[in-house]
């Protein structure tokens, strides 16, 4: 019997890549990620498989397709080394490894008990530029969160990862699946509302802007943008996002003001990513 977990890289991927070293980075429901060394470069290998229902979580099939979907997006974006395929329980992808640390880790020292957090604007700018680049190419990320921005060691630029839910790319039909929202802590109210009403939503640039606002707020303070119980069911979390106002943004101005604008309830009231970058550039000088 196959276990619901997968802890080894399937043999065909190992031989295609000629892997000399590998280490598990993340291993959780529906997905396993390895950092691997192949000849002279490092890659992330992602493996997806279905989630089996337990009394704590629901079953899900889309996690099996997510790596192939992301692989198709990466190839459309022009990644020369991204590859993807199927294995017996789902799909996999290989993509360049981004050296660095994610925003949540980089801003850990700023999550103090002080009333107002003072994170560096230039880190926010690096993340904003990565998202803007994606928007400028005509894509929406759909799953913005602190772990998805990897800042390089000099913290001058950031890579945006986990492109499995990107909107705007041509996806082979057999690997596509509907967008059913993202990690609720970073979801815009209109996305939450749509998921509550119909089970699905359409990612938009405005919802990404909201997601970046919630991301900066979380990384800077450790707080979710809207208050709800840690163990609240997802529908309840979404209802809180739709019906409650977000927490006061206790981040130093003017970054705090900008986050506040990004978290506006109405999508049309939020700044565009270009405007966000402009405001951060002025501040970071």
Ligand X SMILES: Nc1ncnc2c1ncn2[C@@H]1O[C@H](COP(=O)(O)OP(=O)(O)OP(=O)(O)O)[C@@H](O)[C@H]1O
Q: Which of 98, 93, 89 is nearest to 172 (CA)?
A: 93
CB of 192 to Mg ion, least distance (A): 19
Interacting positions 72-111 with ligand X (CB under 6 A): 95, 97-98
Q: Which residue is nearest to ligand X (CB)?
A: 31
- In the complex, least distance from residue 28 CB atom to ligand X, rounded to whole angstroms: 7
180 is a site residue for ligand X (CB under 6 A): no
Q: Which of 6, 31, 221, 237 binds ligand X (CB under 6 A)?
A: 31
Give the three-class secondary structure for 99. coil
Per-residue buried b or exposed e for 97-121, using 16+ beta carbons within 10 Å of the residue's own CB = bbebebbbebbeebbeeeeebebeb
Q: Do the strands 83-87 and 31-38 form a parallel or antiparallel pair, or are they unpaired? A: unpaired
Please select the residue that binds ligand X; options are 14, 25, 86, 284, rule is CB under 6 A. Answer: 25
Give the position of tokens 């291993």.
27
Nearest Cα to Cα of residue 195 among 210, 180, 182, 184: 180
Phi-psi region of 181 (alpha: psi -120 to 50; beta: other; left: phi over 0): left
Point out which residues bind Mg ion (CB under 5 A): 162
The yes or no reply on residue 44 touching ligand X (CB under 6 A) is yes
**25 vs 196 by CB, closer to ligand X:** 25
102 Cβ contact partners less than 8 Å away, ≥ 6 residues apart: 146, 147, 148, 149, 150, 151
Site stretch for ligand X (CB under 6 A), options 161-169, 202-210, 260-268, 270-278: 161-169
Check binding of 62 to ligand X (CB under 6 A).
no
Q: How far is the CB of 268 from ligand X (least distance, A)?
A: 28
Nearest distance, CB of residue 260 and Mg ion, angstroms: 26
Q: How many residues interact with ligand X (rule CB under 6 A)? A: 13
**161, 258, 259, 280: which one binds ligand X (CB under 6 A):** 161
User: In 10 A of CB 94, how many CB atoms?
Assistant: 26
CB atoms within 10 A of CB 67: 29
Q: By CB under 6 A, name the binding residues for ligand X.
A: 25-26, 31, 33, 44, 95, 97-98, 147, 150, 161-162, 164
């Amino acid at each position: 019997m196959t276990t619901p977990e997968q802890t080894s890289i399937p043999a065909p991927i190992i031989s295609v890549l000629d892997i000399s070293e590998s280490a598990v980075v993340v291993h959780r429901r529906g997905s396993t990620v390895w950092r691997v060394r192949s000849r002279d470069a490092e890659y992330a290998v992602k493996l997806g498989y279905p989630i089996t229902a337990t009394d704590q979580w629901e079953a899900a099939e889309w996690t099996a397709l997510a790596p192939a979907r992301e692989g198709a997006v990466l190839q459309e974006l022009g990644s020369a080394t991204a590859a993807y395929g199927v294995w017996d329980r789902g799909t996999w992808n290989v993509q360049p490894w981004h050296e660095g640390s994610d925003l949540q880790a980089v801003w850990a020292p700023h999550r103090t008990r002080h009333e107002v957090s003072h994170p560096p604007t230039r880190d926010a700018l690096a993340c904003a530029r990565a998202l803007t680049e994606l928007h400028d190419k005509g894509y929406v990320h759909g799953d913005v969160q602190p772990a998805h921005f990897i800042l390089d060691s000099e913290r001058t630029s950031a890579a945006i990862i986990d492109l499995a839910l990107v909107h705007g790319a041509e996806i082979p039909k057999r690997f596509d699946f509907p967008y059913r929202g993202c990690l609720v802590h970073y979801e815009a109210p209109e996305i939450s509302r749509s998921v509550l009403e119909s089970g699905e939503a359409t990612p938009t640039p405005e919802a990404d802007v909201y997601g970046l606002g919630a991301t900066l707020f979380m990384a800077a303070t450790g707080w979710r943008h809207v208050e709800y119980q840690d163990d609240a069911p997802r529908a309840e979390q979404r209802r809180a996002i739709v019906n409650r106002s977000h927490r006061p943004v206790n981040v130093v101005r003017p970054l705090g003001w900008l986050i506040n604008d990004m978290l506006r309830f109405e999508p049309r009231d939020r700044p565009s990513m270009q405007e966000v970058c402009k405001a951060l550039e002025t501040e970071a000088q």
